[in-house]
Structure 1
Amino acid sequence: MNYRHSFHAGNSADVVKHSLLIALVRALQQKPGALTLIDTHAGCGLYDLGGDEARRTGESTQGVLRALADPNPLLDDYRAAVRAVNIGAEPHLYPGSPRVLAQLLRPQDVLILNEKHPEDAYTLRGVMRGTSAAVHERDAYELWLAMVPPRMPRGMVVVDPPYEQTDERARITATLAAAHRKWAHGVTVIWYPLKDRATHGRWKEQLRKLGIPKFLTIEHWLYDGDQPGIYNGAGLYIVNPPYAFTQALPPLLEALRTVLAPEGHSGEVITDWLGD
């Protein structure tokens, strides 16, 4: 499945992903110790919602625009992150994970970004100019293993690939297993698109067999029944989610399900622990 982000910026998957990333970082920051935040597939960092690629799909109308219009205070932090990169009431730009994470940094925190695609890496460096982020241009899975454990004991790795390669899931599974052996207490977040339940179910069972404790999966299904051959939603695998995050999760997920449900559908959010 090809998921080139410029076509999908600000869609429902972004709303869920970035809302949960913000909540995760906020929960980790309840302790004063420094955090190292690593984004292995950083992309361009900032996306034009009025550009040809975004307008071709129009997915932001069912994602960020709905979230901005919704009054639920549980989405305030997400809305603030989007508004921080825009001027005026109408959003023209959408912040990718690098810009969202950069907004959350405390003076003691470190942000490490990686983007292998040369043109996107060049754009990313320009977008992140003026922040403290370090930008790398390496293979994502090589960097993931090389950067853990970070020098600071606490941190989070965000893995958000486009799933263009047929072996993407296999590489994630193998790298996660190796990274967990090196950094068992680190927080890891893996984003994935949901196209059909059978494919996702097989991958989930492969990950379950890794035997990683404290392994949470969150699935956001847009439709009441699978829509064959199309994008049906997205989810996150989270290793070692902090207690404060999991405690606050149910009402946040309900708020997201409600605001993002397509017309005629109620949507569904499923959470499941893959480990003990």
Structure 2
Amino acid sequence: MNYRHSFHAGNSADVVKHSLLIELVRALQQKDGALTLIDTHAGCALYDLGGEQAQRTGEAAGGVLRAFADANPLLDSYRAAVQAVNVGAEPRLYPGSPQVLAQLLRPQDVLIVNEKHPEDARALRAAMRGTPAAVHERDAYELWLALLPTRTGRGVVVVDPPYEQTDERARITATLAAAHRKWAHGVTVIWYPLKDRVTHQRWKDALRRLDIAKFLSIEHWLYDADAPGIYNGAGLFIINPPYAFTQALAPLLDALRAALAPEGHRGELTADWLKE
């Protein structure tokens, strides 16, 4: 599956991912200690929703525009993050994860963003100008391991690949296993697209065999029945989520599910521990 950020900016997956990322980082920031935030597959960081690539899919209509039309106050933090890069009531630009993370930085925090694709890396540097982010252009999996353990002690690694390669899930599984050995207490967020439940269950079984204790699985299925061969939603794996985040998760997930449910479908947005 090819999932270049620029074609899917502001879709339902982005709404869920960025809403949860904001709450996760804020939960960690309840402690004063510095955080290192690392985005391994950063993309361009800022996207034109009126541009050719975003318009080709039109997915923002089922994502960020639905979130802006919804009155639930639990989505206020997400809407504020999008509004921060826009002028006017309707979003014309969409902030990728690097921009969202930059908005959350405290003076003591560190942000490291990485993008291997040369064209996207140039756009990333331009978008992050004026922020304290360090920008890299390296292999994401090499960088992931090289920067662990983080210098600040606490941190978050966000892994958000385009799934262009057939071995992407295998590389994530192997790198996560190595990363956990180096940084067992660290927080890792892994984004993934969903197509069919059988394929996804096989990956979950492989991840379960890593024997990582605090492994949260969040799944957002857009359609009530399985629809093999098409994009059916997305989810996040979160390793070592803080208690304050998990305690506040249920109402936020329900608000997101309701806001993003396609016409004629209720949708499903759940959180379960991969390992009891």
Same fold by TM-score, threshold 0.5 exceeded?
Answer: yes
Superposition pairs for residues 38-187 of structure 1, below 5 Å? 38-187=38-187
| Counterpart residue identity of residue 100, structure 1 | V
**Distance in structure 1 (CA, Å) of the matches to 2:159 and 2:179:** 12
Deviation at 1:226, TM superposition (A): 1.2
In the TM superposition, residue 201 of structure 1 has moved relative to its aligned partner by: 0.3
Aligned-residue offset at 1:270: 2.3
SS at match of 1:191: strand
The answer to whether the aligner puts 1:240 opposite 2:246 as a matched pair is no
Distance, in Å, in 2 between the alignment partners of 1:8 and 1:246 is 27
Secondary structure in 1 aligned to 2:135? strand
* Structure 1 counterpart of 2:204: 204
TM-score (norm 1): 0.99
In the other structure, the counterpart of 2:227 is 227
Unaligned residue ranges in structure 1 (runs of 5+): none
In the TM superposition, residue 90 of structure 1 has moved relative to its aligned partner by: 1.4
- How far the C-alpha of 1:152 sits from its partner, in A, is 0.6
Instruction: Give the aligned partner of residue 214 of structure 1.
Output: 214
- The CA distance in 2 between the partners of 1:2 and 1:192, in whole Å, is 12
In structure 2, what is the Cα distance between the partners aligned to 1:272 and 1:45? 30
Distance 2:113 2:66 in 1: 29
Runs of 4+ off more than 3 Å? none
Question: How far apart, CA to CA, are the structure 1 residues paired with 2:231 and 2:90?
Answer: 26
- SS of the residue corresponding to residue 130 of structure 1 reads coil
Q: TM-score, normalization: structure 2?
A: 0.99
2-side partners of 1:185 and 1:196: how far apart? 31
1:95-144 CA-partner distances (Å, limit 9, x unpaired): 00000000000000000000001111111001000000000000000000
Q: How big is each residue's C-alpha offset from its partner over 1:7-28, in whole Å with a ceiling of 9 and x where there is no partner?
A: 1000000000000000000000
Q: How does 1:243-258 map to 2 (within 5 A)?
A: 243-258=243-258
Q: Which residue of 2 aligns with 1:8?
A: 8
Which residue identity is paired with 1:172? I
2: CA distance, partners of 1:273 / 1:266: 23
**Contiguous gaps of at least 5 residues in structure 2:** none
User: What is the one-letter code of the residue matched to 2:125?
Assistant: R
Aligned-residue offset at 1:266: 0.1
Query: What secondary structure is seen at the aligned counterpart in 1 of 2:77?
Result: helix
Task: Give distance in 2, aligned partners of 1:115 and 1:126.
Answer: 13
Distance 1:127 1:219 in 2: 30
Residue 5 of structure 1: how far off its partner (Å): 1.1
Distance 1:34 1:5 in 2: 29
Q: C-alpha deviations, 1:182-238, integer Å up to 9, x for none?
A: 000000000000010011000000000000010000000001001221000000000
Q: Is the 8 A contact 2:63 2:260 kept in 1?
A: yes
Taking the aligned partners of 1:116 and 1:57, their CA distance within structure 2 comes to 24
Distance 1:227 1:65 in 2: 24
Shift of 1:274: 1.6
SS at match of 2:248: helix
